[in-house]
A and B are shown apart, each in its own frame.
Chain A
């Protein structure tokens, strides 16, 4: 095998496959302290640890929601937090068959000499950190690489740097028992059409899978978290069937069948848009050798956040809103979403230009 088969190989394969279970998906609740601050301030809630803890408790104890999830990505602080009665979050997730995951990158920095393109940091002591996270109960990890579309972007340098970074992160995770989610996000910002997004996405994914092969990553023990293929944010929208067609075609051309599951990022789409696009992909009558599911942050939490507004009295209603989005997306992974679980909040675009986590 050109793949590294270490002591965790079987476990990695088993966990990756479980996360890719049809009918389930991932809640991305790994907002860094700075980013969650922006969310909290949008609902006039102070960015202190107890509020961050309260929000995540609201999500993880939502009745029946966890059955729609196979994994939750956590920020480091959250991995060690507990409910108000002292139960570790990790235990709640495990008891409900939800695998805890951990964001391990340390954000992006600009690549000198480019037009604002970036590379992702986080390699220092990554192996040791992964070991610690494994001990704390994490079984998968996430690392976000970012590329943008512009007249001369993404450049070959940015593509190579980010592909290499993802591959190196992935093999280090596998050496330490964590299933790496490989996330090469091509931002939606821009006036380009869907064809341009498709071309860039295919080029980026081809580079990523070449790098993963070069670095001996065991594909059966990984997941992919790509952007959907859509027109740029400054371009006219298209129907979900069109997005589904371009997205699945791009994936069929680049993602080897050995990868068990693809969990899309929502990247600024509204809750309802993201669900409908995912549903359309799963309805598409074409051969798809990996499951197509979700790893949504904003697109799962937006309504919930607004309904909560930081008030204890609203927790129940907020949890209902959360359950509603979880169920909708669970159905979408099966191509069975019948639409209509959108309140006004669910249709609100979550696009933020030049979004920084």
Chain B
């Protein structure tokens, strides 16, 4: 094997396969303190620890929601938080059959000499941090690399640096028992068409998988979190079937069958759009040796957030809203979503923020 078989190999493969269980997906609830602050302020809620805790408790204790989730990505603070009655969130998730995950990157910094391209930090002391997180109950990790499409972007430098960063992060995670989610996000910002997005996505994914091979990463114990292939945000929209076709083809051309599951990011799509696109992909009759599921942040929480508005009396309604989106996305992973989810206020609202920074 050109891959390094760590002592956690069997566990990694098992957990990665579990996360890819058809009918389930990931809730990305790993917003950093700064980012969750923006969400809270959009509903006029103060960004203090108690409110951050209350929001996550609302999500993780939503009745019936956990059955549609195989994993939840957490921010470090949340990994150690508890419910109001004192039960660790990690225990709540585990009892619900949901694997806790942890965001391990430390955000992006600009690459010198480029036109605003970035690489992702977080490698220093990563192994020690991963070991701690494993002890705290985490079983998978996430690291977001970011690329953009423009006249001369992404440059070869940006593609290589980000692919290499993802591969180093992935190798370290595996040595520490965490399944690495590999996330090479190509931002939707721009006026390019879907063909351009497809070409860039294929090029980026090819570079990622070459890097993963170079770094001896065991693909059976990883997950991929890519962007869907869509027109740029300033371009006319296309139908879900078109997005499905271009996306799945890009993946067929680059993602080896050893990867058990692909969990898409929603990247600014509205809740409903993201679900419809995922559904269209799962309906497509073509070779798909990996399961296709979701790892949604905004596209799972938007309606819930608005419904809650920070008020205790709205918790139940907010939890109902979350359940609606979880169920819809669960059906989408099976290609059975009929588009009939009760649309709460905001479900069809675009969540695109230009040049989005976490």
> In the complex, what residue of chain B is closest to A287 when comparing beta carbons?
B289
Complex interface bits, B281-318 against A, C-beta within 8 A gives 1, otherwise 0: 00000011100000000000000000000000000000
B interface residues with partner A (beta carbon < 8 Å)? 1-3, 195, 198-200, 202-203, 206-207, 209-210, 213-214, 219, 249, 251-258, 287-289
Which one of B199, B203, B257 lies within 8 Å of A287 (CB-CB)?
A: B257
CB of A242 closer than 8 Å to a CB of B: no
Q: Which of A195, A203, A219, A289 contacts B213 (CB 8 A)?
A: A203
Complex contacts, A3 vs chain B, CB 8 Å: 202, 253
| Chain B neighbourhood of A331, CB < 8 A | none
Knowing A1-B195, A253-B258, the reply to whether A210 touches B253 (Cβ < 8 A) is: no
Q: Are A249 and B210 in contact (CB under 8 A)?
A: no
The segment out of A32-40, A62-70, A254-262 that lies at the interface is: A254-262
CB distance from B196 to the nearest CB of A (A): 10
Tell me, yes or no, whether A283 is within 8 Å of chain B by CB.
Answer: no
Does A213 count as interface, using CB distance less than 8 angstroms? yes
State whether the Cβ of A169 lies closer than 8 Å to any Cβ in chain B: no
Known contacts A249-B258, A254-B213, A289-B287, A2 near B202 by CB under 8 Å: yes
Pairs across A and B, CB under 8 Å, 18 listed: A1-B249, A2-B198, A2-B206, A198-B2, A199-B1, A203-B213, A206-B2, A206-B214, A210-B207, A210-B209, A213-B206, A213-B253, A252-B289, A255-B257, A256-B255, A257-B257, A257-B287, A288-B257
Chain A at the B interface: SS class? helix
Query: In the complex, what residue of chain A is closest to B254 when comparing beta carbons?
Result: A256
Q: What would 17 more interface pairs be, CB under 8 Å, given A1-B198, A1-B202, A258-B249?
A: A2-B253, A3-B202, A198-B1, A202-B3, A207-B210, A210-B209, A213-B202, A249-B258, A252-B257, A252-B258, A252-B289, A253-B258, A255-B257, A256-B252, A256-B254, A257-B287, A289-B287
Q: What residue in chain A is nearest B253 (Cβ atoms)?
A: A258
Check A254/B1 contact, CB under 8 A, given A3-B202, A213-B206: no
CB distance from B46 to the nearest CB of A (A): 47
Residues of A within 8 A of B214 (CB): 206
**For A257, what are the chain B residues with a Cβ–Cβ distance below 8 Å?**
251-252, 255-257, 287-289
Indicate whether A209 reaches chain B with its CB closer than 8 angstroms.
yes
Task: State how many angstroms separate the Cβ of A250 from the closest Cβ of chain B.
Answer: 8
Q: Which residues of B contact A203 (CB under 8 A)?
A: 2, 213
Contact among B2, B199, B209, B253 for A219, CB-based, below 8 A: B253
Contacts of A214 in B (CB 8 A): 206
CB distance from B214 to the nearest CB of A (A): 8
Partner of A210, one of B210, B219, B258: B210
Q: Contacts A249-B258, A288-B257 known; A206 to B213 CB distance under 8 Å?
A: yes
- Which B residues lie within 8 Å of A200 (CB)? 2
A1-34: contact bitstring with B at CB < 8 Å (1 yes, 0 no)? 1110000000000000000000000000000000
Q: How far is the CA of A288 from the CA of B289 in the complex (A)?
A: 8
| Complex interface: chain A residues within 8 A of B200 (CB) | 2
Chain B residues within an 8 Å CB radius of A289: 252, 257, 287, 289
On chain A, the residues within 8 Å of B198 by CB distance are 1-2
**CB neighbours of B249 from chain A (8 A):** 1, 258
Is B254 within 8 A of A213, CB to CB?
yes
Task: Give the complex CA separation of A256 and B248 in angstroms.
Answer: 12
